[in-house]
Amino acid sequence: MEIRVGIKLLLALWLLISTVCGGYSYRPMAGMRWQKKKDSSGLRRSLLNNGLGLTPPMGWSSWNHFACNIDEKVIRETADALVSTGLDKLGYQYVNIDDCWAEPQRDDQGNFAAKNSTFPSGIKALADYVHSKGLKLGIYSDAGYYTCSKKMPGSLGHEEQDAKTFAAWGIDYLKYDNCNHDGTRPTVRYPIMTRAIMNAGRPIYFNLCEWGDLHPALWGGKLGNSWRNTNDITDTWESMISRADQNEVYADYARPGGWNDPDMLEVGNGGMTKDEYIVHFSIWAISKAPLIIGCDVRSVSKDTMEILTNKEVIAVDQDELGVQGKKVRMEGDLEIWAGPLSGYRVAVVLLNRGPQKSEITANWDDIGIPPNSVAEARDLWEHKTLETRFVGNLTATVNSHACKMYVLKPIA
């Protein structure tokens, strides 16, 4: 807890400059934490006015499970699986190709060339196939000379050309990494691609994968639809929970059209327990994070599908109010996360990071409900409305490395 609090105190200094970048005001009282700050200065104006990302994106990416071991067959079969499982109907729309899809060298005209051994039909044909399924295709590049794998070129110096290529292929989403560059700051390199995308003639969701090095939440809202605040996630409890911590300190900067990104989902890859994956999905949802599946959806277990298809948890992530939840109280390994939803409701996660089962109490004054209100509680993982009506607080017993998630609605 001391480390987590120390991180928050250090980064509080960055939050003080929020008036420069715009966003949500941070106030010490829970009931006021999510009030929007008026911005009459026009500083919120964005280079990227593409109308995308009004709710966090949902879809699938190749990296967490496949890394560089991808080909067009995997991508086509993944698109098929998103449809056959019904995941597409829940909002999982993007099929995102990550690193290693291109030849090591550009063609004679300086254009990207799809790797012939793995994508022989080309990216345009693949986009057409994905679109025929009612889905959208994403792709990957880098604000450097080479991507992070060093197996294909980056887009530094080719931004306009590459953006037009992506648009011509029918690309809908671009993840833009931060490896192997010229030493200039990302605040210099990323706006070039933003402008190129805006000039390309096709709306493309723009994900800034800057890893949090230069606090992209402070400036990413003008350049992209989401921004990575963390290094790459791995399929472990420690990695997942630390990414949640790192992302949470920037909650005030999230908004419709621009989201904090703690990285893709590891649910279903096998490195965590079911309870830990439920924590993963719950925290990403209350954090209004992109829900980008990272497992092989062609062969998923019943437990994995139960998590990924929880409509009530997805609805928290996709709520139209678009305000990111945050930690409102920490007591050792026990945490309360909360955030407002449309319809005067509040989403709450009671999280037990510790080794033993414990009781956790959420008090109304911590989570933004008037103190004497009577509230109805909907348990999002049990899919039931609790018979008890709660006044002033809600208490639940939570297992180790597990959580409870509720939507609370004041009724009196």
- Catalytically annotated residues: 177, 232
Q: How far apart are CA 379 and CA 398, in angstroms?
A: 13
> 10 Å Cβ neighbour count for 108?
7
Q: 252: alpha, beta or left, given left = phi > 0 and alpha = psi -120 to 50?
A: alpha
Q: Tokens for 169, please give them.
A: 């292929």
Instruction: Provide DSSP, 264-333.
Output: ---TTSSSS-HHHHHHHHHHHHHTT--EEE-S-TTS--HHHHHHHT-HHHHHHHT-TT----EEEEEETT
What is the separation, in whole angstroms, between the first and last Cα of the chain?
36
CA dihedral over 228, 234, 235, 240, signed as positive or negative: negative
Burial (CB count <10 Å: 0-12, 13-18, 19+), residue 380: buried
Reduced to 3 states (helix: H, G, I; strand: E, B; else coil), residue 82 is helix
Hey, which bits of 79-159 come out as E strands? 94-96, 136-142
The b/e string for 180-194 (b: 16+ C-beta within 10 A; e otherwise) is bbeeeebeebbbbbb
Q: 67: alpha, beta or left, given left = phi > 0 and alpha = psi -120 to 50?
A: left
Q: Tokens for 164, please give them.
A: 């037009």
Q: Could you tell me the CA-to-CA distances from 225 to 47, 256, 257 in Å, in that order? A: 11, 9, 5
HSE-up of residue 392 (Cα within 13 Å, Cβ side): 1
